[in-house]
Structure formats: C-alpha cells, structure tokens
C-alpha cells in the first residue's frame, strides 16, 4: 500500500525555520563573579540578534520561499544579474533621452 | 574585533558518556566542553564569519546561509542522537572555550530542568497542504450576467472551502496533539511548497516521546488517508528545536 503521507527529507525552509526562529537564544555580556569580585565578562554574540531584526533585514525566506533550493538560488542570482543589467540599460536610456519625457521607475 | 577565532556553540547536552561525532563549520572538528553534568557542543570558527557587524552581508548570501544552516542542524542532530539536546540559535559564539565553561556554570540549573523535560523526546513537523485549486475558467461564450453569477458562486464556494480547510487543519492538530507531550503551531508559510504548490493549512511541531513515535507516525498516516486530496507531510525526527526553553 502506498502511503499518502510524504515523509519528506527536510527542506531548506524547514531547517531555516528551526535554526533561525527556534532554538534558545543566549546572547549578551555575562558577568562572572567569584567571591563578590567581578572576575570577567564573557561576551556571547549572536550573528543576528533576533528574528525581528532578521525580518528588518529582509531575511524571512523560510516564511515566504519554502521552495528554495540550489536551483532556485541560481534563479535568484540570475534575476539579480538581470535586474542589475536592466537598471544599467535603463540608466543609459535615460541619459540618451536626456529627460525628453517622463520615465516611470521600473519597480 | 582583533580576536581571530571564536567558539561556536551548537547545543547544550546532557552528555553522560556521549561522544558527538560530527564536523562543524568550515570543516572544523566538533568537541564538547563539560561542566557539572552539562556540556556545550562547540567548534572553533573564524570570528569574522559570525560577526554581527557583517550579518547583513552574510545572511543575504544564500549559499553561505544554506551551508551554515545545514551544518548547524547536522551537528545538532548528531548530538540529539546520542544525548538529550537543547539546540541553540544559529550563529551563537563565545569569546573562547573558557567563556563557554563559565557560561555553563551560569546556565547549569536551568539547563538541567530543561533536559528533564526533553529527555527521550524527539520533534516532528507536520504540515498540511490544501488540495490543488479548481481549474476555473470555463472556456466559451458566456454572457456577462452568467459570468457574474458563476463568479459569485465560485467565490462563495472558495469561502466555504477555506472554512472547511481550516477546520480540517485544526482537527489534524488536535488529534496529533493528544499523542504528543507538547505541540505548537508555527506561522503558515506564505508561498506554496516545492512539491505541493498549494496553500499551507497547517505548520505544526510536536514533541513526541520516543516510545510513542510509532503510534504517532501511524496516526499521521491515518489522518493523511482521511484527508486526501489534502496532502499531509511529516518531517523529522528533529532535535527539539521548537520546544527548547531555558528559564534563567
């Protein structure tokens, strides 16, 4: 009998959701005292201080792009290249037209 | 930052005799720092790799993020296979091993309480995806009025379907929660899943006793059969990411 359940290998989105949004947060300066004398301060750093901070940075892929894979990454990079190229071309065209007519901003 | 290396912390474990055999970031060997019945699973990393000041660049480098996330999870999973494990958030680093040792002194009591709760438990993810949407536009010559009537009926149908779907998802969650030690619903992901390409109705995590895993999986199978053509996807076992807590 074939099971209707997909016991899927964990996708990148499943992993990102856990490693970026779950798991405990330990961060900040922690003072270690011995015999009431402060001996040292240990600094625990977190690459991204919080999930909210990550969202501010526009990093919420695990919520919006669950399909991310190496293939999609290539596509994202390709899109990025195309956007850059387009912007360059638009820039040239603007120069050529030299303000002859109003131009709508692409995106 | 002048220090060239830092100590990356993947997880806290109750070590016993456990040896975590895994490779960390940049191929560095994983080791444990022990103190008073708890241990940190760590490896040495280049300080610049996890400097919060460069986070913006790092986190937007998807190749780096994917590799780092997968390595982090691989080490945490290796730890969870041999010991009760509290996963830490990706990118946690301390100045050096001595700092980790001191940190363990601070966290000890809280970690031990958490270990008691997580002992012999694993996490499963269960997601439900809606059946594929009806293929709508009936081709052909329709009068304007007929189009509007059909459109209105469709919208009503969609609304009814949404309500039913939400109820089925909640039913799935409730049924599985009854078999789990703890359960959580995570935010639904906005876009369609890779394979399913249909809206997500449920994105849940369950903390399951290792002795209940077979029963839990069977229940998921049965629910999936009863819910077709909605699709039920199970992932795991995971280390208990969604249920790790540390109250200091």
A73 pLDDT higher than 60: no
Please report the DSSP string for B125-191 in residue order.
EEEEEPPPPP-----S---HHHHHHHHHHHHHHHHHHHHHHHHHHHHHHHHHHTTSSEEEEPPPPSS
Of A19, A65, A70, the CB nearest to B90: A19
pTM here is: 0.80
Residues 30-49 of A with CB under 8 A from B: 30, 32, 40, 42-49
Please report the sign of the dihedral spanned by the C-alpha atoms of residue B59, residue B63, residue B68, residue B74.
positive
Q: Considering only residues A93 and B238, tell me which one the structure prediction assigns the higher pLDDT.
A: B238
Of A12, A23, A58, the CB nearest to B241: A23
- Give me the pLDDT at residue A70, please: 41
The string of pLDDT tens digits covering residues B184-218 is 999 888 654 445 567 889 999 999 999 999 999 99
Q: How many CB pairs under 8 A join A and B?
A: 175
Please report the DSSP string for A50-105 in residue order.
-HHHHHHTT--HHHH-TT--HHHHHHHHHHHHHHHHHHHHHHHHHHHHTTSS--PP
Residues 153-212 of B with CB under 8 A from A: 186-187, 189-195
**Closest CA in chain A for residue B246:** A24
Are A73 and B62 in contact (CB < 8 Å)? yes
Are B190 and A64 in contact (CB < 8 Å)? yes
The string of pLDDT tens digits covering residues B145-179 is 888 898 889 888 888 888 888 898 999 999 999 99
Q: How far is B157 from chain A (nearest CA, A)?
A: 26
B50-64, B87-101, B103-117, B181-195, range with the lowest pLDDT: B181-195
Tell me if chain A has a CB within 8 Å of the CB of B9: yes
Please report the sign of the dihedral spanned by the C-alpha atoms of residue B59, residue B61, residue B64, residue B70.
positive
Residues 71-100 of A with CB under 8 A from B: 73, 76
Count CA within 13 A, CB hemisphere, residue B219: 19
Please report the DSSP string for chain B in residue order.
----EEEEEEEEEE-TT-----B-GGGPBPEEEEETTEEEEEEEEEGGGG-GGGHHHHHH-HHHHHHHHHHHHHHHHHHHHHSEEEEBPTTEEESSHHHHHHHHHHHHHHHHHHHHHHTTEEEEEEEEEPPPPP-----S---HHHHHHHHHHHHHHHHHHHHHHHHHHHHHHHHHHTTSSEEEEPPPPSSPPTTT-S-EEEEEEEEEEGGGHHHHHHHHHHHHHHHTTSEEEEEEEE-SGGG-----
Mean pLDDT taken over chain B? 89
**Closest CA in chain A for residue B54:** A47
B132 pLDDT higher than 90: no
């Amino acid at each position: 009998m074939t099971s209707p359940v997909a016991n899927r290998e964990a996708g990148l989105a499943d992993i990102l959701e856990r490693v970026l949004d779950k798991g405990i947060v330990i961060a900040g300066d922690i003072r270690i005292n011995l015999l009431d004398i402060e001996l040292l301060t240990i600094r625990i750093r977190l690459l991204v201080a919080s999930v909210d901070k990550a969202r501010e940075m526009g990093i919420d892929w695990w919520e919006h792009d669950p399909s991310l894979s190496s293939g999609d990454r290539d596509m994202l990079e390709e899109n990025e290249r195309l956007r850059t190229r387009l912007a360059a071309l638009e820039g040239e065209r603007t120069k050529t037209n030299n303000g002859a007519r109003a131009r709508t901003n692409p995106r | 930052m002048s220090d060239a290396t830092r100590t990356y912390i993947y997880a806290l474990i109750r070590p016993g005799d456990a040896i975590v055999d895994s490779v960390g970031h940049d191929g560095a060997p994983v080791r444990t720092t022990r103190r008073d019945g708890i241990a940190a699973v760590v490896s040495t990393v280049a300080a610049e790799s996890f400097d919060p000041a460069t986070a913006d660049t790092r986190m937007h480098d998807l190749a780096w993020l994917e590799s780092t996330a997968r390595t982090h999870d691989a080490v945490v999973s290796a730890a969870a296979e041999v010991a009760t494990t509290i996963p830490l958030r990706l990118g946690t680093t301390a100045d050096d091993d001595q700092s980790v040792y001191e940190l363990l002194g601070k966290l000890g009591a809280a970690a031990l309480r958490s270990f008691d709760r997580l002992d012999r438990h694993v996490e499963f993810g269960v997601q439900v995806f809606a059946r594929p949407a009806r293929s709508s536009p009936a081709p052909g010559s329709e009068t304007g009025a007929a189009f509007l009537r059909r459109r209105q009926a469709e919208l009503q149908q969609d609304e009814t379907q949404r309500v039913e779907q939400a109820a089925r998802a909640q039913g799935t969650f409730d049924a599985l929660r009854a078999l789990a030690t703890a359960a959580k619903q995570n935010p639904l992901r906005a876009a369609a899943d890779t394979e399913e390409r249909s809206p997500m109705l449920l994105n849940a995590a369950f903390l399951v006793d290792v002795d209940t895993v077979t029963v839990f999986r069977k229940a998921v199978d049965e629910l999936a059969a009863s819910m077709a053509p909605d699709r039920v996807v199970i992932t795991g076992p995971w280390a208990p990411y969604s249920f790790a807590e540390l109250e200091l």
